[in-house]
Amino acid sequence: DGGITQSPKYLFRKEGQNVTLSCEQNLNHDAMYWYRQDPGQGLRLIYYSQIVNDFQKGDIAEGYSVSREKKESFPLTVTSAQKNPTAFYLCASRLAGGLNEQFFGPGTRLTVL
Amino acid sequence: AQKVTQAQTEISVVEKEDVTLDCVYETRDTTYYLFWYKQPPSGELVFLIRRNSFDEQNEISGRYSWNFQKSTSSFNFTITASQVVDSAVYFCALSEGQGGSEKLVFGKGTKLTVNP
């Protein structure tokens, strides 16, 4: 089955710890994205990557880091510098070029205690 | 700067009623794309439609229809004869530029509840 996998669905961490959220896609998509969603808010772009080994900051990149070593994987690390990390995190991917929409994964709900 | 406004935070209807979700956008580009996504309680966003700025034709897909009006910078979404399964949060989004959806700017969403 082709799609985007985010694991785990729910993640709990203690304050001050870094945590890495996984995002894998087997759609052979070129571009990948990370969004954050807070209650009653739309999605806000954290980071995106259009090709392997390259990525750009989105609107709220502070306190986050990413890597893109493989086309199918785009992990997001939430560092201790992120002041309010508790949120719902969504990963998306897209085939480059043309008018291709973004496809989204199921999301990871991160709770920092 | 790009901006998407969904003024309706929550809407509640009874099954079989028609409902329209409003979306107003701001952009300085002449080439842009508008999207609607559905987010059911499971959390995953489901793509519904994409419209480019040069195509103002309304679109109908089953019980769903979209009305794009550049004159009012609006891209409204109507569900006809709503069903309980339509209950979800609906997001309108905007992308500028030739390529389409490199970066999406989302509205805050409208939570639709369809009651039996």
Contact B96, B29 (CB under 8 A): yes
- Please report which helix (H) or strand (E) contains residue A87, including its range: strand A87-94
For residue B42, the chain A residues in CB contact (below 8 A) are 106
Task: Tell me what pLDDT residue A27 has.
Answer: 93
Closest residue in chain A to residue B6, using alpha carbons only:
A42
Alpha carbon B76 to chain centroid distance? Answer: 6
Tokens of A75: 């992990």
For residue B37, the chain A residues in CB contact (below 8 A) are 104
Q: How far is B100 from chain A (nearest CA, A)?
A: 5
Around Cβ A10, how many Cβ atoms within 10 Å? Answer: 9
Q: Do A42 and B47 touch (CB under 8 A)?
A: no
At which residue do the structure tokens 């209950």 appear? B87
Q: Do B108 and A106 touch (CB under 8 A)?
A: no
Distance from C-alpha of B15 to C-alpha of A95, rounded to nearest angstrom: 37
Query: Tell me: the pLDDT tens digits for B37-63?
Result: 999 998 999 999 988 888 888 888 899
Closest residue in chain A to residue B36, using alpha carbons only:
A101
Task: Tell me what pLDDT residue A96 has.
Answer: 78
Q: Is the pLDDT of residue A35 over 60?
A: yes
User: Is the model more confident about A24 or about B98?
Assistant: A24
What percent of chain B is predicted at pLDDT more than 90? Answer: 73
Q: Is the pLDDT of residue B97 over 80?
A: no
Q: Does B12 contact A at CB distance below 8 Å?
A: no
For residue A100, the chain B residues in CB contact (below 8 A) are 100-101
Q: Is the pLDDT of residue A103 over 70?
A: yes
Closest residue in chain A to residue B40, using alpha carbons only:
A106
Contacts of A6 (CB under 8 A, 6+ apart): A21, A22, A23, A89, A90, A91, A105, A106, A107, A108
Of A45, A48, A103, the CB nearest to B47: A103
Half-sphere exposure of residue B45: CA atoms within 13 angstroms, side-chain side: 29
**φ, ψ for residue B5, nearest 5 deg:** -120, 125
> Largest Cα–Cα distance of chain B, in whole Å?
43
Lowest mean pLDDT among A65-79, B46-60, B65-79: B46-60
Contacts of B62 (CB under 8 A, 6+ apart): none
Alpha carbon B86 to chain centroid distance? Answer: 13
Q: How far is A54 from chain B (nearest CA, A)?
A: 14
Task: Tell me what pLDDT residue B52 has.
Answer: 87
**φ, ψ for residue B51, nearest 5 deg:** -135, 135
Q: Do B104 and A102 touch (CB under 8 A)?
A: yes
Distance from C-alpha of A52 to C-alpha of A55, rounded to nearest angstrom: 8
Q: Is the pLDDT of residue B100 over 60?
A: no
Q: How far is B14 from chain A (nearest CA, A)?
A: 23
Task: Tell me what pLDDT residue B58 has.
Answer: 86
Q: Is the pLDDT of residue A29 over 60?
A: yes
